[in-house]
Structure formats: C-alpha cells, structure tokens
Amino acid sequence: MCGIVGYAGTKHPKDILLDGLKALEYRGYDSAGIAIKNEKKVQVIKSVGKIKYLEDKINNNSLIDSNLGIAHTRWATHGAPTETNAHPHNVGKVTLVHNGIIENAGEIKNKLISKGVIFNSDTDTEVAASLINYYYSGDQIKAIEKATSELAGSYAFGILFDDSDMLFAVKKGSPLIVGIGSDGNYIASDIMAIINYTKRYILPEEDEIAALSANSFKIFKNGKEIKKEILTADVSVEAKSKQGYEHYMLKEIMEEPLLLENTLKPFADDMSLIPDLKEYSEIHIVACGSAIYAGMIGKTLLEEKAAIRVYCEVASEYRYKKVICDKNTLVILVSQSGETADTIAAMRKAKDMGADTLAIVNVKSSTIARESDEQIFIEAGPEIAVATTKAYILQVAIFGLLAYKASGLKNLKREIGNLPRLVKEILDDRDTYLKIAHHIYKNNDVFFIGRKVDYAMCMEGSLKLKEVSYIHSEAYQAGELKHGTISLIEEGTPVFGIITDDDIRDKTISNIAEVKSRGAKVITVSNENVTGYDLGVVVPKISDFFQPILVVPCLQLIAYEVAKLRGCDIDKPKNLAKSVTVE
Ligand code: F6R
C-alpha cells in the first residue's frame, strides 16, 4: 500500500526522502514521486515503476535548493499506475501525498468542478489536494481541518503549502508517525522509513494535525495546540538490512528459532501472562490472509483441546456480516502490521457490540495495538518481505499458548523447551526443500490437502507458494477433493499431503492414495514416516499444541526455493502490499 515520508530540517531532503521511500518499498507500490520546495518554487518529480527509476530521474534533474520535502510510493487504487496519477499532487498552493482512499471523492470532485476547478488525474488524492486548496486562505491548520471534515474514508496526508516553510500532516484510519530528530523533523508511514535518522516519534491520533519545521514540532486538535508524548522505537537500524541473506524472506524465516525462544520464554516462565479464554462463552478470531490461517490453527486447537466454541472469519466479511456477539464474546484480532483496514473495522465493530477484544499483533504503535482492549505482542521485529513468514509462525505459537492454558495444562516450559532447536534443525535441511522445489517449479498448478489442523497449514502453504512463485495453488480439505476438484489432477500434478493429526491420519492417507492413483506427484509433510510416495519431509512429532510450528517452516522454504528457481521478485511479489491499509 502507499507509503509516505516527509522532512523539514536543515539538510537537503533528497537523500532522506529516497532513503525513506526505499525503506517503504516493502509495502508494495507501482509508482513513486517526491516534491521539494523553497520560498520560490515547488519541484515535483515522479516516475512509474521501481524507485530506482525515480532516483535516476532525480539525479538527471538539477534540483532546487531546499530543506523541505515530501515523497510517496503509490499502490494504485483510483486510476492506473501512470505518472499523472502518481503523487505528489500539486493543486494551486497545495502539494500533497496521500495513503488511504477518499470514499466520497466523486461527490467532492463534482462540487469542485461546478466551482471551476480543473482536474488532471483520475485520483482521489488530487480531489483532497483541491479541497484543501479551495479552503486555503493563509491559515494552513484551518484549511486542513475544514477539508478533512468533509472527507469520508481513510487518509494520511503529508502537505506542503507554497507560502509556508512548514511540513503539515494529518491522518484518519491510515498509519502516520511524526519523527523528532536533531537535524529536523519527519513524517512517515512507519518508523522504518526514518530509523536511520531518529528513533524518537509521536503518534498523532485521528484528525490531529502536525505542523513541523526544522526546529519545531506542534500538534493541533480542533484548532488548539496539544501536548503529545514522545516515544522511542525499540527497533535497531540493523533490522533493516538483509544481514548477508539473499532475500528478506529467507532472513526472516531463519530468524524463527531465536524469535520463538525470545517470545515464548516470558509466557513459559509465568503462565499467568497468558489470557484465560475459558471465561468467555464464545471466541471469534478475525483477521486477513496468513493471519486468518494462523487463526484457523487457533480455532482447531481451542475447540479440540479446550472445548471452547470458536468462530473464525476473514475481517473483510466479518465487518459486514450479521455478527452475534456480546460481552461474553472475546474477539481476537490477529495482525502483523496492526494496520489492516478490514481488521481495524472488524475490531471497532466488535467493540461497538460490547465484546472484549484481544489483539495478537506485532507493531506496537499500530492502530490495532492501541485500540484493542488487550494485546499479546508477537515481538517479531520488523518484517520487510511482503509475504509474512516469521510473524505467522509467532502468531501460531501464541495460539498454541492460549489453547495450552485454556486446556488446563501447566508444564509449558517442558512443552516448548526444545521447540527453537527443532525449528532450527528443520530450517537447516535446505537441500531437501530445494530438491522438492526442483520437482515442482515448472508446474502450473499445485494442490495442498489435509484435514483439520493439517488443512489450516495447507492454506498457509498454498498461499505462500502462490504469492511468491506465482504458481496457481489451492488448498483443500482432503476429504472434499473428490467432490469436484479431483478432476484437475493429472499425470505429474504436484499434491502436497500434510499429515500430522493422528485422529485422521489414515483418512488423509487414503485421500492421498486417490490422487496418486490418478497420476499426482505426491509430496508428504508428516510427523511419522509415510511410505510409498514420491517425496517427503518428516518432522519430529511433538505436542499437538505446537506441531504446526515444525511443519509450516518447511512449506515456507519450499515456496522460497520455488520462487527463486522461477526468478521471481521474492521480497516484493507483483500486485501485493505488505500492509493493506485500504479496503
Ligand atoms: C501473506 C500476507 C498477508 C497478510 C495479511 C494480513 O503472506 O502477508 O496475507 O497476512 O495481509 O496482514 P496483517 O497481519 O498485517 O494484518
């Protein structure tokens, strides 16, 4: 999704802005641009495609003297990814970058057109810039307040005015931080964009306006200046680097053992830190993408081990569905970024309905972390590869903890003591995953089959493979395959069979035999030897609560190796965004 960065300081903004944009690349984008200004001029440079094209263009231009600027990576929503639609948008005295979607842009555009305003792009962002410009008569805060009061939807804006040497910013429903530095002040979609310059930041709340100069930072609410706490980010500059790995995805997978050790230890030392889910009559798990697949594992464990009724639903459905929940319901929101628009909306709906909310979240400064009633932080550190790996594993680990406690068991230390070492051993077996990857990377379709918790793992294995390698892949409940999809199995179609659940082991094995006899190339991933198939990975058998943590890393590495063999842009798959901050 779009990323914004801005600087008001003592230095020329070019390098700071480009550095920030590169750090935001992981969010996914299709065009980029910067605007820098001085007392006389605003200079806007934009480009379609990678940031390096923008950088080349900037380097081939003579830049004006400046110490104030804004920049943007755009993930197209309204209008194609063209240079005209790329941000910043300049209208009259206003130059603006935007992350979010203005839902009533059409209506406002018509109103402004009737007043003689001319539009050049197809974007909702140009409408916002025009509206601020329309209301601007020398008081920046007033113009921003007046315009934003008319906007529906979500936004984080970075705004420059021709006749001001300050940088303005405001947000609603989209992430925005204000960085406080010694050589100037910053705005950014997340701290990683400015971590090379400062770790100190302020979190503006909805519709608070930041006004920044080289040596001052002010936050306004309803026209009045307010005091805000300055926070310090606990991420290191090194977290931004690949640390010798070829890709962030690989680096992040390899971090899993150490992260598991660090994240789980406090809970193992003191189980009272784990929320007691037994006090609720029903649990709803709501999330998107991989996070909902982690939730599906949670649902299976909580139902099977603790006999708690659990309803698991993707946030984009939950937010619009007729949902039955009340004060006896706990709604668990799972989100790495904590900024996924649908998950935020689902959380707000649950709160409005009187349910308690618990967030399993990574980014501590995020909206979900701040607005949920209770939080469990997965402590994954920054996850830069668009496809989640380590965050997913830690989410699954947290569900293991919740189910373990809810089932009344007490010796968590013993249960998870070996987990990090076992994961490390699994990750070290890279040759096996490469061998499997060689067997499937030329195929067009891949299937994953399993039952119950194994099916939940299939969903994640399949998603990982398709998003990074672009191979069409589907996950099926093993017993459901023969009700239609089995017609797609032909000679050489790869089918992954995940078999860890003892209760349905034989059933899944029968389903695997069915596809094998129709020509499928079967790859089993199991916790006991399964013989007679083409390829297989056997992981150690451990407690059901944590067994998925030994299986999914294999699937992550297979997806990685396949993507590499196919020459894909592994860390930034096409069309994908890391943090889906719009609906
Ligand atoms: C898949 C992936 C996405 C995210 C989903 C939710 O690899 O990364 O499916 O899991 O967009 O994002 P968060 O967890 O930030 O809410």
CB 287 within 8 A of CB 450: no
Query: What distance in angstroms lies between residue 191's CA and the mean position of ligand 1's atoms?
Result: 19
Q: Domain holding 218: CATH number?
A: 3.60.20.10
pLDDT score, position 79: 82
Burial class (CB within 10 angstroms; exposed 0-12, middle 13-18, buried 19+) of 307:
exposed
CB 32 within 8 A of CB 17: no
Query: Is 325 labeled as catalytic in the residue annotation?
Result: no
Say yes or no: 12 and 128 in one domain.
yes
State the DSSP string of 64-101.
Answer: PP-SEEEEEEE--SSS-S-TTTSSPEEETTEEEEEEEE
* For ligand 1, mutation pick of 247, 248, 288 (most atoms within 8 Å of CB): 288
* For ligand 1, mutation pick of 580, 581, 582 (most atoms within 8 Å of CB): 580
* For ligand 1, mutation pick of 286, 318, 340, 568 (most atoms within 8 Å of CB): 340
Query: What distance in angstroms lies between residue 391's CA and the mean position of ligand 1's atoms?
Result: 9
pLDDT score, position 532: 78
pLDDT score, position 393: 98
Query: What distance in angstroms lies between residue 582's CA and the mean position of ligand 1's atoms?
Result: 13
Say yes or no: 398 and 507 in one domain.
no
Phi, psi of 249 (to 5 degrees): -60, -45
Q: Which residues have CB under 6 Å of ligand 1?
A: 288-291, 335-337, 340, 343, 387-388, 463, 467, 579-580
Say yes or no: 473 and 374 in one domain.
no
* Cβ atoms within 10 Å, residue 371: 16
Cite the beta strand spans of 109-181 per DSSP E: 153-161, 167-172, 177-180
* For ligand 1, mutation pick of 388, 389, 463 (most atoms within 8 Å of CB): 388
Q: Domain holding 323: CATH number?
A: 3.40.50.10490
Model pLDDT for residues 70-81, shown as the tens digit of each residue: 999 998 887 888
pLDDT score, position 531: 80
CA torsion angle 184 186 190 193 (round to 10): -60
Over residues 251-268, mean pLDDT: 96
- Boundary (domain end) residue, out of 187, 206, 239: 239
Residue 49 located in a structural domain: yes
Say yes or no: 274 and 352 in one domain.
yes
Which protein residue's CA is at the shortest distance from atom 16 of ligand 1?
Answer: 335
pLDDT score, position 104: 95
Asked whether the predicted pLDDT for residue 172 surpasses 80, the reply is yes
Query: What distance in angstroms lies between residue 386's CA and the mean position of ligand 1's atoms?
Result: 8
Say yes or no: 491 and 401 in one domain.
no
Residue 292 located in a structural domain: yes
The pLDDT confidence band at residue 197, using thresholds 50, 70 and 90, is very high
Rg (CA), the chain: 25
Range with lowest mean pLDDT among 234-248, 302-316, 432-446, 531-545? 234-248
Which protein residue's CA is at the shortest distance from atom 4 of ligand 1?
Answer: 289
Residue with more model confidence, 357 or 414: 357
Say yes or no: 177 and 255 in one domain.
no
Which protein residue's CA is at the shortest distance from atom 7 of ligand 1?
Answer: 387
- Boundary (domain end) residue, out of 239, 255, 282: 239
Query: What distance in angstroms lies between residue 93's CA and the mean position of ligand 1's atoms?
Result: 38
Say yes or no: 228 and 322 in one domain.
no
Q: How many domains is the chain partitioned into structurally?
A: 3
Residue 578 located in a structural domain: no
Model pLDDT for residues 212-227, shown as the tens digit of each residue: 999 999 999 999 999 9
The pLDDT confidence band at residue 525, using thresholds 50, 70 and 90, is very high
Say yes or no: 91 and 191 in one domain.
yes
Which protein residue's CA is at the shortest distance from atom 11 of ligand 1?
Answer: 289
Query: What distance in angstroms lies between residue 387's CA and the mean position of ligand 1's atoms?
Result: 7
User: What is the token pair recorded at 386?
Assistant: 């668009």
Model pLDDT for residues 562-571, shown as the tens digit of each residue: 999 999 999 9
Phi, psi of 113 (to 5 degrees): -60, -40
Range of the domain at 357: 241-426
Q: Nearest 5 degrees, angle CA 338-CA 341-CA 344?
A: 60
Return d(Cα 2, Cα 19) in angstroms, integer: 16
Burial class (CB within 10 angstroms; exposed 0-12, middle 13-18, buried 19+) of 100:
buried
Asked whether the predicted pLDDT for residue 324 surpasses 80, the reply is yes
Which positions ≥6 away from 24 have C-beta within 8 Å? 3, 4, 5, 73, 188, 189, 190, 192, 193
Return d(Cα 497, Cα 319) in angstroms, integer: 33
Over residues 95-108, mean pLDDT: 94
pLDDT score, position 579: 77
pLDDT score, position 329: 96
Return d(Cα 48, Cα 82) in angstroms, integer: 6
Instruction: Kindly give the number of the ligand 1 atom that is closest to the alpha carbon of 287.
Output: 16
Model pLDDT for residues 365-378, shown as the tens digit of each residue: 889 999 999 999 99
Please give the share of the chain, as a percent, with pLDDT higher than 70. 100
SS3 assignment, position 29: coil
Say yes or no: 232 and 256 in one domain.
no
The pLDDT confidence band at residue 242, using thresholds 50, 70 and 90, is confident
pLDDT score, position 81: 86
Model pLDDT for residues 480-521, shown as the tens digit of each residue: 998 999 999 999 999 999 999 999 999 999 999 999 999 999
pLDDT score, position 181: 96
The pLDDT confidence band at residue 243, using thresholds 50, 70 and 90, is confident
pLDDT score, position 2: 87
Query: Is 578 labeled as catalytic in the residue annotation?
Result: yes
Query: What distance in angstroms lies between residue 347's CA and the mean position of ligand 1's atoms?
Result: 16
Relative to beta strand 494-499, strand 445-450 is parallel
Say yes or no: 7 and 146 in one domain.
yes
Q: Which of 2, 288, 325, 568 is catalytic?
A: 2
Return d(Cα 357, Cα 335) in angstroms, integer: 13
Model pLDDT for residues 117-154, shown as the tens digit of each residue: 999 998 999 999 999 999 999 999 999 999 999 999 99
User: What is the token pair recorded at 534?
Assistant: 């083409």
Residue 580 located in a structural domain: no
Instruction: Kindly give the number of the ligand 1 atom that is closest to the alpha carbon of 343.
Output: 16
